[in-house]
């Protein structure tokens, strides 16, 4: 499902959801470009499992040939303000850039101002916030580099 007032651009050869991946019939895949200025750019040959939520207030990009596991959330903003009197307002807005050929495991959350380099892997259950280079495995809460991938 594509919702919101912005633009969602999807490249060629993409596959969303997997009927053997769990929750296929009761789950959802939602891409929400919230405002008229919001953009979600999905590269070519992206494959996802089920129950994916990608929500942009500004800009989210996922590079070609990336894989996204089940129960993944990607957001480029804080859903609510931090100050008590701003809790009903949108919080800080950033961007998310995911490189090419990135493998995102199950149950991952990727937060605003995150960049993940090409060929990297995000381990199951990670909460990603920050900038990570190409060719690394990241994981944990908060995510950190676990290992460099040899080319």
**CATH at residue 44:** 2.160.10.10
Catalytic residues: 80
Residues 6 or more apart whose CB falls under 8 angstroms from that of 30 comprise 1, 2, 3, 52, 53, 54, 55
The reported pLDDT for the residue numbered 68 is 97
Token code pair at residue 134: 């190409």
Count of domains forming the chain: 1
Q: What domain range is 83 assigned to?
A: 2-148
Between strands 39-42 and 72-75, the pairing is: unpaired
Low-confidence ranges of the chain (pLDDT < 50): none
> What is the distance between the alpha carbons of residues 6 and 56, in angstroms, rounded to a whole number?
9
User: What is the bridge-based pairing of β-strands 136-139 and 121-122?
Assistant: parallel
């Amino acid at each position: 499902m594509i919702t919101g007032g912005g633009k969602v651009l999807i490249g060629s050869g993409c596959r969303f959801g997997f009927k053997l991946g769990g929750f296929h019939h009761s789950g959802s895949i939602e891409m929400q470009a919230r405002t008229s200025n919001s953009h979600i750019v999905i590269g070519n040959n992206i494959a996802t499992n089920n129950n994916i939520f990608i929500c942009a207030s500004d800009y989210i990009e996922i590079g070609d040939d990336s894989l996204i596991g089940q129960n993944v959330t990607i957001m480029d903003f804080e859903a609510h303000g931090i100050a008590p009197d701003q809790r009903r307002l949108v919080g800080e807005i950033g961007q998310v850039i995911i490189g090419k050929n990135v493998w995102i495991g199950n149950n991952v959350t990727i937060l605003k101002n995150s960049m993940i380099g090409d060929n990297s892997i995000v381990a199951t259950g990670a909460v990603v916030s920050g900038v990570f280079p190409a060719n690394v495995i990241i994981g944990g809460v908060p995510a950190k580099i676990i290992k460099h991938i040899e080319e």
